Structure 1
């Protein structure tokens, strides 16, 4: 009699697919920090108001300088480490709420109220101040860490990579400013890490269980696809031109045109999902910003074009409340399942050790890229590959 097959337990020597703690730690995330991350919407950064953000566990304060340009500084006053984001912005500068120290957009201390009109030490000369470990005037106090910023396509990006040049330019929002297209943003706080989020956003099988009836219904249907891994991106092309999308699908495809459905991942934190019927359709672009190991802000741009519209895309604009409501319901469902996953991830040893099948081929590619970057991103990274896969829905 043939002996039973040996079963290999994943508990013997588990190797996590993801390291949520390291991925969200500025000191341990390797090259994951060497990219531009969205800090806020342009509309969130108002003149004369500070805005607090956390990226990779690091507090950042944003404000607009005297020319209206975004500035980003370490959110910790040099004096007694109070949060600058709890202070005030005036004349393009930011003042600390504790003792009123004032910083310009470069992070330099430009005024210390307790030094009075002269802005110099009165009774201790420079040598005496130095002997006591003090500064005689604001310019000797040093400066806060300043983080470079870029504002484009309705978003404000921040770079936390230090002296190393960014590995890629800030991601452009699909169809931003293009005639005939409507674009709006949704900002969502997710209780999970970036790797798990981007995998969720590029996953078809879960839609049957997490979004029943919102995207598609169970059909016992085989879905072939091609997965291409190249140059820091993962492209999944689904070979189902006759696939139908429930929910708003009829609004975008009333004539039943062939569907082109693609999912793309761009290192280290961006996904783009396209549902296109000829020259119209909708695109879901998500950019994930890590706050902590299981805490992220996701900036989702929804770009859509109707099959029939009037100049100025006025019909599409009028339908925006409906489209926004629909997409908000879907994202809320993803928030719930990401929280369910988070609970189990944190439930003792073994969290982050995943199993998979052919349907997870592109997830393995995403994990390979992010692991390579977390470990320093040396060399050219995972080699290019193109493979076919299939799964059932």
Structure 2
């Protein structure tokens, strides 16, 4: 696993050819710039005059100052160093030092050309502009250049569906995307990282089926009577059969479902790479309580408790990801892993991400469906 290449815009191959979450919609406020880093590249986001999100390279053409430290006004952004103003397309539309005429005064076009200077803002070029898209309470950015995205942005499960409550958690993880998605789709670690919060040791054999197809890895656990501690009792007071599935979608999305009939909870995480061992994860928690008529009202009332619980659990994952990161960076050999049958789906995830990092040519890893088992 090449953690450095995975998070480098120039070396990540086709991993960049997808939509990545840059922020929550609520984080991108009118009249305020927002700085983000994706694949090691600084990006500034702001809303244009129509309120639509804009994403530009966060580096002024003049002296490379961070535009995200400047001001947004009338749908434009001004540099904090010399005040150069850019519109939502990335074009320079005003240079304060040129004065009212916005033209070179004493140097003619030939003289400016000899010195590598421009005569007017329109001749200064423009910043790289990254396509944006806003849906389901998220703002997405596409870093793939001229090639179209390989797939549409992922839809948040049960967004705006009656009876379901959805909220977001944004977490900065000290690790890379591959390690994070494997952590989010991993049952055995819950005994050691989340003891008592999610599961307790039960000396129980868990059979499962792993299906790799069409850029996804689906794990279906054959444990209808499995019990989840903590909030699991809240969601299944009647002891209904559990349908537990974990699914990975290339290149960076996981969806974990715990469903008892028509209610339960879904944990959807979308990972955005900042650097080799630094990521922002946007987690949507969608849940529906086993209450008939006033389910949505009760669900919203329970949100502070559910949010508190999920935050405790996710912070435990932050700690273990940091522990893993320390060892990954401790000399040569980091990123070379060993595995057993319980890691079958991790091998599938790594196969897909390696294929994309190497360019994503052809159809990718072949479809496969296998049974496995592990103990918890």
**Band the TM-score falls in, shorter-chain normalisation:** over 0.9
Q: Deviations over 1:337-379 (max 9, x none)?
A: 0000000001111111100000000000000000000000000
Q: Deviations over 1:132-167 (max 9, x none)?
A: 111111000000000000000000000000011100
SS at match of 1:313: helix
SS at match of 2:180: helix
SS at match of 2:112: helix
CA distance in 1, matches of 2:341, 2:186: 12
More divergent stretch after superposition (118-127 vs 164-173): 118-127
C-alpha contact 1:288 1:299 (8 A) present in aligned 2 = yes
CA displacement at 1:99 relative to structure 2: 0.3
C-alpha contact 1:309 1:316 (8 A) present in aligned 2 = no
Q: Deviations over 1:143-198 (max 9, x none)?
A: 00000000000000000000111001000000000000000000000000000000
Q: Deviations over 1:73-98 (max 9, x none)?
A: 00000000000000000000000000
Moved over 4 A (4+): none
C-alpha contact 1:273 1:284 (8 A) present in aligned 2 = yes
Q: Deviations over 1:43-71 (max 9, x none)?
A: 00000000000000000000000000000
SS at match of 2:134: strand
CA distance in 2, matches of 1:283, 1:383: 28
Structure 1: any 5+ residue segments left out of the alignment?
Answer: 1-17
CA distance in 2, matches of 1:238, 1:223: 7
Alignment pair present for 1:354 and 2:344 = no
SS at match of 1:341: helix
CA distance in 2, matches of 1:323, 1:311: 17
SS at match of 1:285: strand
C-alpha contact 1:309 1:315 (8 A) present in aligned 2 = no
- Give the equivalent residue in structure 2 for 1:98: 81
CA displacement at 1:309 relative to structure 2: 4.8
C-alpha contact 1:191 1:295 (8 A) present in aligned 2 = yes
CA displacement at 1:310 relative to structure 2: 3.8
Over aligned residues, Cα RMSD in angstroms? 0.7
CA displacement at 1:130 relative to structure 2: 1.3
TM-score (ref. length: structure 1): 0.95
CA displacement at 1:127 relative to structure 2: 2.1
Q: Deviations over 1:13-50 (max 9, x none)?
A: xxxxx111000000100000000000000000000000
CA distance in 1, matches of 2:293, 2:127: 51
C-alpha contact 1:189 1:298 (8 A) present in aligned 2 = yes
CA distance in 2, matches of 1:261, 1:48: 43
CA displacement at 1:312 relative to structure 2: 6.8
Q: Deviations over 1:188-226 (max 9, x none)?
A: 000000000000000000000000011111110000000
Structure 2: any 5+ residue segments left out of the alignment?
Answer: none
CA distance in 2, matches of 1:223, 1:215: 16
C-alpha contact 2:289 2:299 (8 A) present in aligned 1 = yes
Aligned residues: 376
SS at match of 2:342: helix
TM-score (ref. length: structure 2): 0.99
C-alpha contact 1:76 1:82 (8 A) present in aligned 2 = yes
C-alpha contact 1:29 1:375 (8 A) present in aligned 2 = yes
